[in-house]
Amino acid sequence: MLPPTEFLYHFLSISVGFTAFSALSHQTFFYKKMFVREVRKAFSAPLIKSRINSYSIRFKKSNNYENDEILEIYDEHGRALGKGMHRDRIHSEGKWHKTVHIWIANSMGQLLLQQRSQLKKSFPNLWDISCAGHVSFGETIAQAVRKEMQEELGILSQLSADRMEVNPLVPNSKMQLIFQTKFEDLTQNNGTYKNREHVDVFLLQVDKMETKQFILEEAEVSQVGWIHYTQYQKIMCQETFSDPIFQQYKDNCVPFRNKDYYQLFTVLDKHYKHTAEKKENLVDLSFLLNQKS
């Protein structure tokens, strides 16, 4: 049972938040959405988060505003046009937009993969990047990275525009932009989903994190798991390795959408090639075949 003082803190926080939200009812949905985001950040305060972690509870957040998220329109050369459009319309009309991809790697050379929720419109139930998402209209890249890490995985981070730093909640970690690329002419769902995006790809290096440390958003992520990057490379690069042992897992992973993306493994080789020599760093891949609804 919560102590009286902490109960009062929760009660007042909810009351103030609800009252302020109601007062904004005459504003546009866009500003309401931004307000909701700020309230969610406030409710991620260390006091509340520490109590969640102390009971090992995986708090699953809702994502009701996803379809109404406003994204910035870009041209094919990656220049922002200063115009916003709802996310669904961006994809239905195939407009260029911006996304961020964050790959999380630990000191054993293992990558964190997430299984996309069955609710996702693209690649539902497939295993994918550690964390990824869209850059909203008026949002900086650093803000987008912080938002996606917190919303999808529950990692609180402090990021600045000139230097990517992650706070002590992720000990001994560092983040870097490793490459930029773009995806185009990806059409799904009988032509109703057209994806053209400019992508900034980041690598977050951590010492070690257990999967239970992540707080997953149920509308985005079903589960997460670690895989050594050389094992993932053999799954994704069947044209090079042609290993039947790894072929069975490929259909359960989101495919790389252009050849540029394979430079991910070149970057990982520079940091973690020595880890492949230790068999204890390799993992049982059977989790990739599991479907979690």
pLDDT of 20 over the 60 cut? no
| Least reliable range by pLDDT among 26-40, 86-100, 235-249, 275-289 | 26-40
Structure confidence at residue 57 (pLDDT)? 28
pLDDT of 254 over the 90 cut? yes
Rounded CA separation 162/55 (Å): 37
Structure confidence at residue 212 (pLDDT)? 86
Percent of the chain with pLDDT over 70: 68
Find the mean pLDDT for residues 157-170. Answer: 49
The model's pTM is 0.74
pLDDT of 24 over the 50 cut? no
Say which residues have a Cβ less than 8 Å from residue 100's Cβ, sequence separation at least 6. Answer: 132, 133, 135, 141, 144, 145, 148, 199, 200, 201, 202
Greatest alpha-carbon span in the chain: 62
pLDDT of 209 over the 50 cut? yes
89 vs 7 pLDDT, higher one: 89
Find the mean pLDDT for residues 256-271. Answer: 94
Whether residue 187 contacts residue 194, with contact meaning beta carbons closer than 8 Å, is answered with: yes
21's tokens: 């939200």
